[in-house]
């Protein structure tokens, strides 16, 4: 198989296997409702030139990706107001407060030591989380620290 874009038409009952050689792009929809909760098998985090895959978040974010990696259990509040993609390490033990920007949309990427979840997050006018909806589970991606900027566009 050649590298290619994986879109909604490739999913069967909300699941898809990313098995093509090279770097593949999985395109997520513009809203959590339109996207649903996808299960993605075979996603490879890491350098795209080395075969790492890409999650295309542009339909939801509507802007260029600006990511930040935070440690969810280092005892510090994490300010993410200048980013729109948050990669949270140590999610299983997360105790830290996240400071969100008011009236904004985020993509939250977290691992649980086995798989990685990708969620769409919205905040209200006070910066409190208004909704969090899981839109994808990357089966077998057990450490978000393997992600590079090119994996999330």
pLDDT in tens, 98-135: 999 999 999 999 998 899 999 999 999 999 999 999 99
Q: Is the pLDDT of residue 150 over 60?
A: yes
**CA-atom Rg of the chain in angstroms:** 15
- Rounded mean pLDDT, 59-75: 88
Whether residue 106 contacts residue 87, with contact meaning beta carbons closer than 8 Å, is answered with no
Q: Choose among 120, 99, 97, 118: nearest CA to 109.
A: 118
Q: Is the pLDDT of residue 13 over 80?
A: no
Structure tokens at 48: 């795209």
Q: Is the pLDDT of residue 4 over 50?
A: no
pLDDT for 3: 43
DSSP string, 72-117: TTSSS-EE-TT-SEEEEESGGG----EEPPTT-EEEEEEE-SS-EE
pLDDT for 138: 93
More confident residue, 148 or 91: 148
Percent of the chain predicted with pLDDT > 70: 86
């Amino acid at each position: 198989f050649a590298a290619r874009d994986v879109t909604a038409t490739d999913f069967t009952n909300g699941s898809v296997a990313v098995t093509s050689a090279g770097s593949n792009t999985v395109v997520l929809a513009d809203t959590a409702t339109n996207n649903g909760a996808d299960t993605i098998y075979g996603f490879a985090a890491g350098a795209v030139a080395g075969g790492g895959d890409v999650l295309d978040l542009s339909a939801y974010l509507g802007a260029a990706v600006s990511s930040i990696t935070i440690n969810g259990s280092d005892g510090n509040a994490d300010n993410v107001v200048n980013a729109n993609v948050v990669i949270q390490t140590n999610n299983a033990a997360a105790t830290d407060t996240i400071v969100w920007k008011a009236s904004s949309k985020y993509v939250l990427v977290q691992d649980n030591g086995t798989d990685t979840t990708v969620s769409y997050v919205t905040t209200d006018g006070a910066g409190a989380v208004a909704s969090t909806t899981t839109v994808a589970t990357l089966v077998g991606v057990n450490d978000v620290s393997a992600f590079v900027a090119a994996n999330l566009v």
